[in-house]
Amino acid sequence: MTLALDLDVRSQFPQLVAHPDVAYLDSAATAQKPQAVLDAVVAYLSSENANAARGTYPWANRTTARIAQTRDQVRRFLDDASPATSGVHFVSGTTEGLRSVALDWLPTVLSDGDEIIVPFADHSANLVPWLDAAEMLRRQGTRVVVRPTPYDEAHDYDVGRLPVGPRTRLIAATHVHHVYGNDMNVHRLRAAAGPEVAICLDAAQSFGHLPLSVRELDVDFVVFSGHKAMALPGVGAVWARNRRGPAFTPGGWNGTPNTAGIVSLAAAMDWLSSVGLSRISSSIVALGARLTAGLATMPSYEVLGCQDSLAAGSPVQRRHGIVTFRHREIDSNDLGFILAADGLLVRADGHCQGTQGEKTSSVRVSFQVYNTAEEVDRLLATLSALES
Ligand code: PMP
């Protein structure tokens, strides 16, 4: 990717344009918004705002139609081969979406003695709801066996050791890990799981970052947040292979949907498609590789996660724009403040990992297509100056 293209993309993000000295390196927390998304929301709210499904006048009908169109757009965006039978349910984000699958849908398919496989070292939003569902069912007299997903040394799922048995009903998985940045071998889960086991994918860090095909991944649920993919906060979706997915909004159309959020999601998907998800993916992978290579030359830093993945060049083990590390002596939160003072905005803490996650805090750098190689070099220069 050339510098000219970088600048062209960056110029579409008003917050970045307004702060030319800031390197925003925290897109895994939330992405900046392109002007096209902001314009779409303002246009909607200043010319067509109405509630959906109240159908006696054009604004309401247009809003209802927009929501249906955005559902179809999500299906296309996810390369859904069976749009006539799949469901798209708008939720507030990944956390709510995963809870809905766990608490609204899962109990309807589990019987006493059934098993679920859940990832204890992934984001807690993809762990706690499954444990809560199992506990709720246990109190109602239905025993659910919760099996932890095994990981290998590179922090991928160890698919060969997946504890699938005749009573397994669900595997909860994460597409791209929010701390290590690696693709979690999700494309290998279906073969290991067999055709009957439901696979629910947390796509919080992959939706809008790389081409995501439910046809290729062969999963049953995909859950994502709009705000990490350049839409507004407060909107996300659950794609369910089968329309009979969870009954998300109590009362269905009787609840008011996040119309402006849904409009923003449609505009964000348009924008992402116009840039191209392959281009976005290769750009953030390259930035991650540049940072990892730079850190590898500095003995004061320890990079977490898949150490050998870049050297191995395996396409499935690449870091998708997320690199997490620690300084061997400087506390990670202190390091976060030091970097922020230099205009380098990163995330520093324990990153909401599940109970098998990292035990001490770390610094996470995460990229989107508006980031540049110059920003990585600037970060590396500051980190280098902190070497002990
Ligand atoms: N899963 C993963 C992998 C995430 O990175 C995040 C966001 N940190 C979530 C779930 C939760 O997303 P949200 O806060 O948008 O609900």
What pLDDT score was predicted for residue 359?
80
* DSSP states along 344-368: EE-EEE-TTB-TTS-SS-EEEEE--
For residue 96, the ligand 1 atom closest to its alpha carbon is 16
DSSP 103: I
What pLDDT score was predicted for residue 253?
53
* C-alpha torsion 205→118→165→162, nearest 10: 60
Q: What value does the mean pLDDT take over residues 79-87?
A: 93
Delimiting residues of CATH 3.40.640.10 domain(s) in the chain = 38-274
Delimiting residues of CATH 3.90.1150.10 domain(s) in the chain = 3-34+276-385
State which fold the 3-34+276-385 domain adopts.
Aspartate Aminotransferase, domain 1 (3.90.1150)
Q: Compute how many other C-beta atoms are within 10 angstroms of the C-beta atom of residue 22.
A: 15
What pLDDT score was predicted for residue 244?
64
How far are the Cα atoms of 46, 99, 101, 202, 214 from residue 95, in angstroms, in the given order?
Answer: 30, 6, 10, 9, 20
Ligand 1 pocket test target in 352, 353, 364 with most atoms within 8 Å of CB: 352
Gap from CA of 168 to ligand 1 centroid (Å): 25
Q: Is the CB of 182 under 6 A from ligand 1?
A: no
Q: Is the CB of 205 under 6 A from ligand 1?
A: yes
pLDDT band at 357 (very low <50, low <70, confident <90, very high): confident
Atom 12 (ligand 1) nearest CA:
94
281: left (phi over 0), alpha (psi -120 to 50) or beta: alpha
Q: What ipTM is given for this predicted complex? A: 0.99
Q: What value does the mean pLDDT take over residues 361-388?
A: 97
Q: What value does the mean pLDDT take over residues 99-110?
A: 94
The CATH number fitting domain 38-274, selected from 3.10.20.30, 3.40.190.10, 3.40.50.1970, 3.40.640.10? 3.40.640.10
How large a percentage of the chain has pLDDT more than 90?
A: 84
Gap from CA of 98 to ligand 1 centroid (Å): 10
E-assigned strand segments in 160-242 = 168-174, 198-202, 221-225, 236-240
Strand 168-174 and strand 115-118: the pairing is parallel
